Amino acid sequence: MNRKFRLLVVLLLAGVSAPALAQWQPAPLSGVWVNPGFYSIHYDRDAGLRDQNPGLGFEWPVSPMVSLTAGRFRNSNNALSNYVGAYVMPWKVGSWRFGAVVGGFDGYPNAYNGDWFPALIPVVAYEAAHWGLNVGIVPTISNRLYGAISLQLKFRWEAPSPAGAN
């Protein structure tokens, strides 16, 4: 990862997350969400892109408004991608949350030769007790990235109870 990108990610995360991180209350590991990748509904349905984007990702709530996220998946160009960032979800109505994920991705051949690039993606999330769904609105970036509605099913990881505990 180049120096400029790391600095950009740090500044973005610090600027967007600072108010929420003031309420830092990391969830125990049993509060971590685990996801099996994404399903992408691309705006350009004739581009021959891969809609199923299997992988493994994690989302760790660190405050009522912020979750840190990281993972790896097979992207729409059939290449491996990694991501790291933070969901900043300042609005909540019932089980629905609204905000954006800010961070970075790599592995897209037309975007910076597959190197890391910053991303800001609007997100709506539904979160029940043990499962949830993130819906991202990925913008099209001409000649670099195909836009899509991204669906990410997630499951809350439950730590096993200690022996003898009920």
Contacts of 144 (CB under 8 A, 6+ apart): 108, 110, 111, 112
Specify the pLDDT at position 161: 58
How far apart, in whole angstroms, are the C-alpha atoms of residue 84 and residue 72? Answer: 9
6 pLDDT above the threshold of 70? no
Question: How does pLDDT run across 37-70, given as a tens digit for each residue?
Answer: 999 999 999 999 999 999 999 999 988 899 999 9
Whether 165 shows a pLDDT value over 60: the answer reads: no
Note whether 100 and 122 are within 8 A (CB): yes
Q: In percent, how much of the chain has pLDDT > 70?
A: 77
Least confident of 4-18, 115-129, 133-147: 4-18
The one-character DSSP state at 140 is: P
Q: What does the pLDDT average to over 128-148?
A: 93
Residue 114's Cβ-side half-sphere holds a number of Cα atoms within 13 Å equal to 9
Q: What is the pLDDT of residue 10?
A: 56
Minimum mean pLDDT range among 82-86, 108-112, 133-137 = 108-112
CA-nearest of 101, 111, 92 to 137 is 101
Task: Identify the bridge partners of residue 39 per DSSP, sorted by sequence position.
Answer: 52, 151
The mean of the pLDDT values for the chain is 86
Stretch 20-35: mean pLDDT, rounded? 71
**Dihedral sign from CA coordinates of 106, 36, 33, 162:** negative
55 forms beta bridges with: 73
